[in-house]
């Protein structure tokens, strides 16, 4: 085994790890490895919103220009229904550096289209949520070494099995920046918001905002395992995501969407992921360790793998980022007041 933190990002710790003494993970997991990143990556979430059912094609003004120069290195589509009953269709796109993202916005015509006043009218809402963490401010973990998801599609290779997983506090132990920074929540940035009460609203960033994308792929499950997942695990997972969506603010969850992944033709496939923003990594950790909804998810998963003697085809992953206020952009155009971070 090796550490989830790559060698070039390791440094003398000011904050100790939570790894138990002589710990051996109960099952293997892996982390993405990248050719050394010298700046910020871009995780961009483009969305369209309507009370009517949407299709991936409704995002074509965005996705059609992804193929132009300096477009994303990977993107995928997904959909959900929010707490207010609005349909949301999203394209989640990844760039390896901010300068390419900035060039793409201008040269592709996206920036002009996004700023056009016509976005502020009509039956559709639009939103753009962008975070740009440096390499030391995000981490990944995968239950399978050969099926990348999310930012993992930008990786140069995968690690050997890692030590820091399968115990409470392991997410923080995988974050390189947490070696020297307690990642306490900061205040909301001043002067970054705009448009309150108008059709176009900018939400200011907040220091050490925590984003998690946590997914499930059950496409290769069969027979007993498929039944266990669909009948036992999936309902408990959905209950946890619904709690975070509808009641999460009381525990520090600012936004949660439980997303159904779509293929390139806009059809649903056997993949989902939760996409959530917490005001503080500690609040995400607290929910995971102590809240009944996640205790049920974790307990259900352990029962699942033990029933199958740890021989499973279900693939799980997550990516967690902790982002400074200056590296966030959240703008909502013609969206309902409960969209994303608008009411937070």
Active-site residue set? 318
For 106, other C-beta atoms within 10 Å of its C-beta total 11
Q: Is 228 helix (H, G, I), strand (E, B) or coil?
A: helix
CA distances from 316 to 144, 203, 269, 312 (A): 8, 31, 15, 11
Going through 21-86 in order, the beta strands assigned E by DSSP cover: 32-33, 42-50, 74-81
Find the helix or strand (DSSP H, E) in which 333 lies: strand 328-333
228-238 per-residue burial string, b: 16 or more CB within 10 A, e: under 16? bbeeebeebbe
Largest pairwise CA distance in the chain = 60
How far is residue 78's CA from residue 263's CA, in Å, rounded to a whole number?
A: 8
Contact 308, 254 (CB under 8 A): no
187, with CB counted inside 10 A (0-12, 13-18, 19+), is: exposed
| Angle between helices 281-290 and 292-307 in degrees, nearest 10 | 60
Half-sphere exposure at residue 91, Cβ-oriented, CA atoms within 13 angstroms: 25
How far is residue 258's CA from residue 215's CA, in Å, rounded to a whole number?
A: 9
Residue closest to 136 by CA, chosen among 328, 322, 325: 322
How far is residue 339's CA from residue 276's CA, in Å, rounded to a whole number?
A: 13
Contact 256, 248 (CB under 8 A): yes
């Amino acid at each position: 085994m090796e550490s989830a933190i790559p060698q070039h990002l390791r440094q003398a710790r000011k904050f100790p790890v939570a790894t138990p003494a002589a710990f051996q993970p109960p099952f293997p997991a892996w982390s993405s490895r990248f050719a050394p990143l010298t700046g910020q990556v871009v995780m961009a979430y483009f969305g369209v919103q309507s009370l009517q059912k949407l299709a991936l094609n409704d995002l074509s003004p965005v996705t059609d220009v992804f193929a132009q120069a300096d477009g994303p290195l990977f993107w995928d589509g997904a959909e959900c229904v929010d707490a207010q009953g609005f349909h949301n269709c999203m394209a989640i796109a990844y760039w390896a550096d901010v300068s390419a993202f900035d060039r793409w916005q201008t040269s592709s015509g996206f920036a002009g289209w996004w700023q056009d006043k016509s976005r502020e009218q009509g039956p559709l809402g639009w939103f753009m949520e962008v975070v740009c963490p440096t390499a030391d401010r995000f981490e990944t973990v995968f239950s399978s070494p050969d099926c990348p998801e999310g930012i993992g599609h930008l990786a140069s290779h995968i690690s050997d099995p890692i030590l820091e997983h399968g115990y409470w506090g392991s997410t923080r132990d995988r974050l390189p920046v947490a070696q020297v920074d307690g990642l306490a929540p900061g205040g909301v940035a001043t002067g970054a918001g705009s448009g309150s009460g108008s059709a176009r609203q900018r939400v200011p960033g907040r220091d050490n905002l925590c984003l998690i994308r946590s997914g499930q792929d059950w496409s290769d499950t069969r027979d007993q395992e498929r039944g266990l997942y669909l009948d036992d695990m999936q309902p408990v997972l959905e209950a946890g995501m619904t709690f975070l969506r509808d009641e999460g603010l009381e525990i520090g969850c600012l936004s949660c969407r439980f997303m159904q992944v779509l293929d390139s033709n806009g059809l649903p496939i056997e993949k989902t992921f939760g996409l959530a923003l917490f005001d503080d990594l500690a609040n995400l950790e607290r929910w995971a360790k102590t809240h009944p909804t996640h205790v049920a998810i974790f307990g259900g998963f352990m029962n699942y793998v033990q029933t199958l003697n740890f021989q499973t085809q279900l693939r799980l992953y997550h990516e967690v980022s902790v982002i400074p206020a200056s590296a966030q952009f959240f703008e909502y155009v013609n969206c309902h007041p409960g969209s994303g971070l608008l009411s937070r």
